[in-house]
Amino acid sequence: MSAIKSLCVFCGSSAGKQPAMADMAYKLGANLAAHGIKLIYGGGNVGLMGKVAQGVMDNGGHVTGVIPEHLLKMEVGHTGLSELVVVDSMHSRKARMFELADAFAVLPGGLGTLDETFEILTWKQLGLHGKPVVLVDGFGFWDPLLVLIASMIDGGFVAPRHRDLFTVAQSVEEVIPLAMASTTPSAVNRADLF
Ligand code: AMP
């Protein structure tokens, strides 16, 4: 069991079409607050991002938002956070969120969510870190992605053992237990990759 003190959530800057997704994001935030786990996220007050942050803040938790200066207006920086870190670029934002987080959870989102998730997964694939990554598959949102990854494994482009780079939660309640139960893989060398 690893001690998780902070969890970074990647999710949509949009709320999507199903209100249940926003509820899921808010509930994840509330769960983090209840467990005393700090939220690290992109700092916006929009979409599912805003909901997860609100879930933490409404329940007395701690939120650190990390947002690039140029996005402060576009994503409407959340003004009610415990801490808002303003960085100079998207790259700095991802690096800062990575440094601050003990683990990652991924809620439904769009291209930015995929970018953030796969950067973390590919760093882990290369043995640069061993932090838990939990995909929250509420309402089957990530099922097509799981099918694609299975197909990449079948096609010989992803090593079968790299399916274990992340775990899949079927509900928000499973996120913290799954993150805590994840084991840290040892460093890999090139020969281990395939
Ligand atoms: P989205 O899933 O597209 O709604 O975006 C979710 C988050 O990812 C937002 O905070 C975006 O600012 C961020 N994002 C969007 N595009 C990128 C990118 N190319 N690199 C890093 N983050 C991004």
Pick the closest to residue 113 from 7, 39, 9, 28 (CA basis): 9
In a domain, 145, yes or no: no
pTM score over 0.85:
yes
To test the ligand 1 pocket, which listed residue (73, 90, 135, 141) has its Cβ within 8 A of the most ligand atoms? 90
Nearest CA, atom 7, ligand 1: 112
Pick the closest to residue 162 from 136, 123, 105 (CA basis): 123
Count of domains observed in the chain: 1
Say how many Å lie between the CA of residue 142 and the centre of ligand 1.
17
Cβ proximity of 60 and 85 under 8 Å: no
**Amino acid occupying residue 54:** Q
Say how many Å lie between the CA of residue 54 and the centre of ligand 1.
19
Residue 79 is predicted with a pLDDT of: 80
pLDDT along the chain (194 residues), means of 10: 89 96 98 98 95 97 96 79 95 97 98 98 96 95 98 97 96 97 60 51
Q: State the closest ligand 1 atom to the C-alpha of 109, by its place in the atom list counted from 1.
A: 2
User: Assign residue 39 a region: left if phi > 0, alpha if psi is -120 to 50, beta otherwise?
Assistant: beta
Residue 187 is predicted with a pLDDT of: 44
Q: Residue 67: which H helix or E strand, with range?
A: strand 63-68
Ligand 1 contacts (CB < 6 A) are 12-14, 42, 44, 49, 71, 75, 90, 94, 109-113, 115-116
In a domain, 110, yes or no: yes
Residue 121 is predicted with a pLDDT of: 97
121 lies in which domain range? 6-140+164-185
CATH number at residue 176: 3.40.50.450
Residue 30 is predicted with a pLDDT of: 98
